[in-house]
Structures are given as C-alpha cells and as structure tokens.
Amino acid sequence: MDIWNIAEYACWGIAGVLVLWMIADMVRVGAEYDEALLLSSREGADELLERGNATGEAK
Amino acid sequence: MTTTTAGAGGERINLLKVLGPAHIWGLGVGIVLVGEYMGWNFSVGKGGALASLIACWVIGLLYTCVAMIDSEVTSTVAAAGGQYAQAKHIIGPLMAFNVALYLVMAYTMLEAGNAFVAGDLMKTVAGQLGHENLDSRPFTLLVIAFLAWLNYRGVFMTLTFNFIITAIAFVAVITLFIITGPWLPGVAVTHKEFLTGLPYGWIGVVAALQFGMWYYLGIEGTCQAAEECRSAGRSIPLGTITGMVTLIIAASLTWYVAAGLMPWEYLGQAYTPLYDAATIFGNKPLQAFLFVGTLFSTLASANGCINDASRAWFSMGRDRYMPQWFGAVHPRYRTPFRAIVFLIPIAVVAAYKLPLDGVITFSILSGLLGYTFMSFNVWRFRKLWPLGTIKRGYIHPFHPLPAIVLFILCIAVYFATFLGYADYLISILVFFIFASFWFAWHRYKYVRRGDQFTMPWPRPKGL
C-alpha cells in the first residue's frame, strides 16, 4: 500500500465524515428549532428599493 | 448586517447580508475560469483556431449582453434565485419554474463535471508519479462533500475562499502569457506557422459557437447572491461587469498562447490545453503553477455552482414551487442548508454515472435556455416598469439593442448545438415541456399565490 492508496482511503473517510456531519446537524436543527422559524425568511429587499419607492427614479 | 427580525412571535431568520463586489467577482469568474483551462479548445476542433477566436469574441458579445441585462434587473430584484425571482415578478410563475430548473440543472451538472475533472487530475498526477490506475472516485466525492460543507457553514467564508483560489488561477493564466514573451512574436509563440485559416469554412465558425460558450459559461451566476449582498444595487453590477472584463481578457490571452504554441489538430482535442502549453516550455515551476491553476479553477467552479444551485432550489422551496421544507435557513450559519444537502447525491450520481460531454452539454443548453428568457424578460421589464418608475442600481445602455443581439446570438448557438448534439437538444426540450405540464397541473395548486410576489413595486403600466 503506497501513499496514493492511503490518500484514496483518507478521501473516502473525510468525505463520509463531512456528509454525516451535515446530515446530523440538519437533523439536530430540525429537532431543536420551530419549523415555522426555519421557514420564515422572506425575499431580500435592497436599501435601493426602500429609498427608490419613496422617491422614484433618480434623474 | 441585520438578519434576524425579532418580534413577539414574529421572529424571522434571513440569509446573511455580508457580500461585497469582490465576492461577486469571485463567484462569477470562479464559476467560469475553468473554461479557459479546458473545454474552450473544442471550438478549435470544430472550425480551426481562427474560428475559435471569432467564437470567443462573438460569444463574448452574447455574455456582455447577459451581464448588462442581468445587472440592471438584479439590481432591482435583489433576491436569492436570481433569474428565477426576476421571471416570477416580471413574466409569471410557469416561466419562473422553468428558469429555476434551468439554473439548478446548469449548475448541478457543471458542479458534477468539475468534480469529475478534479478527480481525474489527481489520477493523471498519480500516473505521472508512477501509480497507475488510481481510483478517482474518492477524490471526486471529497471535492463535492468538502465544498458542500463549506457552503453549509456560511456564505462569507465560501465566497472569500472562492475569491482567493480564483485570483490565483487567473494569475497563473497571466503568468503563462508573460512567459511566452508576447513582445517577441515568432520566438516562443508562432501564430504564422499555426494559423491555417478556416479548415471547414464559415460553417466551422458557426459550429465553434457552441464550445465558445465555455469561455464565459456561468458569469450570470452572480445574480444568485443578490439577497446576500450588503448592497445588491452596487455589488452585482460592479462584480458582474468587472468579472466579464476579466473573462474577456483571460479568454483572449488563453487563445493567444495556446493557438501560438500548438497546431489546431492537436489543440482541438486536448484535455488540458493550458497545462500542455506550460509543458511545451519545459519549465517545471511554470508547469506546477499551471497544475495548481487548473485544480483551483475546477474547485472554484464547483464551489460557485453549489452556491448557485442551492439558492435556486431554496427559492423554489420558499415559494412552494417545490416542497416548502427546502426553503429553510440555518439558524446559526444563515445558509439554505437543506437545499445544499439535498443536491449532494444528485451531483455525485451525475459525476459518477453520466458521460462528461453529456453533463456539460446539458449544462450549456440549460444556460442557453436561460439567456433566451433574459432577452424577453428585460424587454417586458422596461415595458412594465419604465425608467423613472422604480429605483435601479444600474441602467444598461442602448436598450433594446442588447436584448435583440442576445436573442439572435442565442438562436445561432441553438443551431450550432443542433449540428453536433441534436439528440441532447431535443431531449432537454422534451424534459422541460413535461416538467412544465407537471408544474401547471399538479404543483401550482400548493403555491400561495399572493405570497410569492414580494417586491414593493408600483403597479405596472398597462395592467
């Protein structure tokens, strides 16, 4: 077994840990937080909109 | 940077507004720059080196129109989902659903292609160092998993990382150009020897347009980050248009170096033309730098694609175009975490099971369908909300000329794709037609129709 074989196993292992960490965190967040809160985001509005709608287009 | 709106029972979690123009530049150029390292040169195979240069500039015009149009509309519709949110507000739900699918398909397929290439690069290096038959799959999986993890943990870190590795890959292209000694034509680069006219005539130039897309494919992805910009009205136009200028420079330099060092018959089928160009010089540090540039460009592209595909999927979930479960924001990292995780297995399967040219052609065609939409979209946008009725962060010049030019060039690229990949073109059109029927007859009944239109714009003219 050379360094490349070790690298192959290391890649499988690290990728597996990262994916499992994300899934575990996703499950934890789903259990700890209210679903309505997690789904509460609204489409963004830039400050341009807030100023622009009051004043119209800058000429 | 306010992201949580507190209130009695009305607390909200939104995406973080932390990005600036440099992040937008890193996102847009990062997705595209891999096309300079590989892929663009297949346009040489279609029509010769001169045809590739013509395609480079003609498609550059197409993408300049895309960048200008996108910058204007996105500076007003500052929402995750980019062109999806634009289509929803300007044309309607069915168009928006299709545009979102184009985006998810284009970016997920491109991510899969990049991860595959990164794995294959490791296999090539191992082969050159004496280890034959390295299994590239764990490297491909690690690329997807690591970049998804990075995206999961926060957009600021993700796009700062993208900015740095993209800048390094761009410097590698500039370094290669300088080392060829462009002030001494005929010494290292010998265009007189290698430029042989148009071997397949003007039809070869038309055929080259399809792979000419590689020089710029994905720059429109900057719009997906609009909701996370501190000031979308400033960051999106600045990041996108400077990104487009960067890419036109990088594309021209890439063509100049490669077409002056290699005959078109070889260049037209090479897998890593810039790395091959560095190899011709026999300069080991330059070779190593170009290898790093190639690897970084694939990582930057895959990273940007994960960012963009997840935002498009998240936006559809938020509007119930897809199950609302996908519209969740992580309470700590403020990222669309469920959309990011959901797209991982799709990218892995595409990287492992689908042929690379098929993956890339699906990505190009999905992008092209999106660009065609943009030409109609901006025309309707200007008609419904003329200048002076809403605030725009950027106003693109010469309207409607860019929209008309964009539409004509899209038709030309459809024809070019039909010449080489008619089966892909037809199958993807059939897919989107079936998806549209599914959405109209089944899915749209779950959408809360009033909630999806969020922009506080005045009533449009003529309605």
Per-residue three-class SS string for B243-311 = HHHHHHHHHHHHHHHHHCCCCHHHHCCCCCHHHHHHHHHCCHHHHHHHHHHHHHHHHHHHHHHHHHHHH
User: In this structure, are residues B366 and B213 in contact, taking their beta carbons and an 8 Å threshold?
Assistant: no
pLDDT in the model for residue A49: 52
Task: Please check whether residue B126 touches A, CB under 8 A.
Answer: yes
Q: What number of C-beta contacts closer than 8 Å exist between A and B? A: 148
Best B12, B229, B391, B454 residue to mutate vs chain A (most A CBs within 10 Å): B391
* A 15-34 near B (Cβ less than 8 A): 15-16, 18-19, 21-23, 25-26, 29, 33
pLDDT at A48 over 80: no
Q: What is the mean pLDDT of residues B139-158?
A: 97
CA distance B102 to B149: 24
Best A46, A50, A51 residue to mutate vs chain B (most B CBs within 10 Å): A46
Q: pLDDT band at residue A50, thresholds of 50, 70 and 90?
A: low
CA distance B171 to B282: 19
Q: pLDDT band at residue B58, thresholds of 50, 70 and 90?
A: very high
The mean-pLDDT minimum among B58-62, B148-152, B285-289, B391-395 falls in B391-395
pLDDT at B29 over 70: yes
Task: Please check whether residue B75 touches A, CB under 8 A.
Answer: yes
Nearest CA distance, B331 vs chain A (angstrom): 7
Tens of pLDDT, residue by residue over B228-251, are 999 888 899 999 999 999 999 999
Q: Which two tokens stand for residue B261?
A: 């060092």
pLDDT in the model for residue B78: 80
Q: What is the mean pLDDT of residues B172-187?
A: 85
CATH class of B25-445: mainly alpha
Which chain A residue is nearest to residue B153, measuring alpha carbons?
A22
